[in-house]
Amino acid sequence: MYVAVKGGEAAIENAHRLLDDRRRGDRSVPALTLDQIAGQLALAVDRVMAEGSLYDRELGALAVKQARGDLIEAIFLLRAYRTTLPRFGYSRPVDTAAMLVERRISACYKDLPGGQVLGPTFDYTHRLLDPALAEDAGTDQPVRREGETEPVMRVSEILAGEGLIEGDGAVAQEKGVGDITRTPMEFPMDRDTRLQALSRGDEGFLLALGYSTQRGYARSHPFAGEIRIGEVEVSVDIPELGFAVSLGRVQVTECQMVNQFKGSAKAPPQFTRGYGLVFGQSERKAMAMALVDRALRASELGEDMTAPAQDEEFVISHSDNVQATGFVEHLKLPHYVDFQAELDLVRRMRAEHDAARVTGAGDELEAAE
C-alpha cells in the first residue's frame, strides 16, 4: 500500500552474511592463513600496524584478512581494538643509533661510517611484471655479508660534529610523555605530539603534502640525510624494580631530512631537520612525514606561512584516515529528517521567488540594486 522505506534488522544480517561469503570467495581455493599474509604481504601489514598504531603482526594480518585487503578498513579494525587496551605505562625512548640495521642509506655522502646498506628495497628494480611469480617457482636464499654488529653512526651526528645542523631539540624534563590517544589535541601542538599524529597519519595524505613542498608550496630544499630500517629495542621502566626491562624489539623506519635554512634573527644559517619515524618498513611514509614535519616547523623557524603543508591545524586535523573515511562515508547514513526541513525551506523560498517575479519590474530593480 505504501512504500516501506525503513531498513530492517534482517537486511543488515543478510548483508553481513554476503560480506562473509565474498571475503571467503571460491571455497575450492584454500583460505589465506595469517602466516601467509604476515609473511608475504608484509608491507601491507606494516602499513596497517603503523597507521593502526599497534605493533602486532598477527593482529595486523588478521585485520588485513578481515578487511578483504582494504587497508584503511584494516587500520580501522586495529585501532578499534587497540583503543580498548589498558595503558600500563610508557616505554623509554628507543635508541635508533643502536638499531640492528637492515637498510641504511644516505643521499648526502658517497660513503660514510657504517656504509650504504641497500637491504630489501624496490629501488633499482625494473617494474616489469614477473610471470614467474604467478607460480611458486622457488626463491634463492639471500646473500648476507658478515654483519657489522657495531652501532651505525647517524648522519645527523656527523653534521652536528661540525656544528652545521641544529640540535635535536630539547624536551623539558618535567613535561612528561605527550600522548595524542590520551589527551585531546590542542593547537598549537608541541612537536612531540605533532610527530605522533604524523606517524599514524595517512600515508597518501602525507605523501601528497610532502610532494607539494617539493613542488614549491613551502619549498624547503630537502636532502635525504639518512633513511634506516631495522629493529630497535623497546624497554620500559618498572617502578618496583628501579630499572628498565626490555620488552622486545620492533622494526621501525627512520628518516632524517636535512633542509637548507638561511638563518633568521633568532638562529644562524645552518641545516635544519625534518623527522620521520614509522613502525615496520614504510620508507615512503617516513620520508613524507619528515618533509611535512619540516614544513610544519615554519612558525617555529620564523618562515613565511604560504602553503597548506605549513598549516598545522589544517594538516593534523585532516591526516587521520580513520576519522576522514568515517566522516566522508557517513554521508551514506539517512539524513531525511534534515532533508525534509530543507525541502520545506526550498519550497517556501521558491514560492516567494515566484511571487516576487509576478509583482513586476519595479521590485526586481530594487532587488538588483
Partner 1 sequence: MNATAGAIATYNFAYLDEQTKRMIRRAILKGIAIPGYQVPFASREMPMPYGWGTGGVQVTASILGPDDTLKVIDQGADDTTNAISIRKFFQKTAGVATTTRTGDATVIQTRHRIPETPLKSGQVLVYQVPIPEPLRFLEPRETETRKMHALEEYGLMHVKLYEDIARNGHIATTYAYPVKVEGRYVMDPSPTPKFDNPKMHMSPALQLFGAGREKRIYAIPPFTRVVSLDFEDHPFTVQDFGRPCALCGAEHVYLDEVILDDAGGRMFICSDTDHCEERREAGHAGEMLAGEAAQ
Residues lying near partner 1 in the complex (CB under 8 A) are found at 1-3, 5-9, 11-12, 58-59, 62, 76-77, 79-87, 181-188, 313, 317, 322-330, 333-338, 340-345, 349, 352
> Closer CB to partner 1, residue 256 or residue 321?
321
> Closer CB to partner 1, residue 243 or residue 327?
327
> Closer CB to partner 1, residue 122 or residue 336?
336
Strands (E), the chain: 100-105, 222-238, 243-259, 272-279
> Closer CB to partner 1, residue 51 or residue 226?
51
Distance in Å, CB of 84 to partner 1, minimum: 5
Q: Using CA atoms in the order 63, 64, 65, 69, what is the torsion angle rounded to 10 degrees?
A: 140
Distance in Å, CB of 9 to partner 1, minimum: 5
Cα 323 to Cα 321: distance, rounded to the nearest angstrom: 5
> Closer CB to partner 1, residue 121 or residue 317?
317
Distance in Å, CB of 354 to partner 1, minimum: 14
- 179 in the Ramachandran plot: left (φ > 0), alpha (ψ -120 to 50) or beta? beta
Maximal CA-CA distance, the chain? 93
Distance in Å, CB of 102 to partner 1, minimum: 27
Cβ-based neighbours of 233, under 8 Å, separated by 6 or more: 94, 95, 98, 246, 248, 249
Distance in Å, CB of 12 to partner 1, minimum: 6
Distance in Å, CB of 221 to partner 1, minimum: 29
> Closer CB to partner 1, residue 184 or residue 242?
184
Distance in Å, CB of 179 to partner 1, minimum: 8
Cα 152 to Cα 231: distance, rounded to the nearest angstrom: 13
Cα 293 to Cα 210: distance, rounded to the nearest angstrom: 9
Distance in Å, CB of 193 to partner 1, minimum: 12
Instruction: Identify the three-state secondary structure at position 154.
Output: coil
> Closer CB to partner 1, residue 131 or residue 360?
360
Cα 198 to Cα 147: distance, rounded to the nearest angstrom: 33
> Closer CB to partner 1, residue 168 or residue 342?
342
Cα 253 to Cα 237: distance, rounded to the nearest angstrom: 24
Other Cβ atoms closer than 10 A to 18: 10
Cβ-based neighbours of 232, under 8 Å, separated by 6 or more: 94, 95, 96, 98, 99, 100, 249, 250, 252
- 113 in the Ramachandran plot: left (φ > 0), alpha (ψ -120 to 50) or beta? beta
Cα 232 to Cα 234: distance, rounded to the nearest angstrom: 7
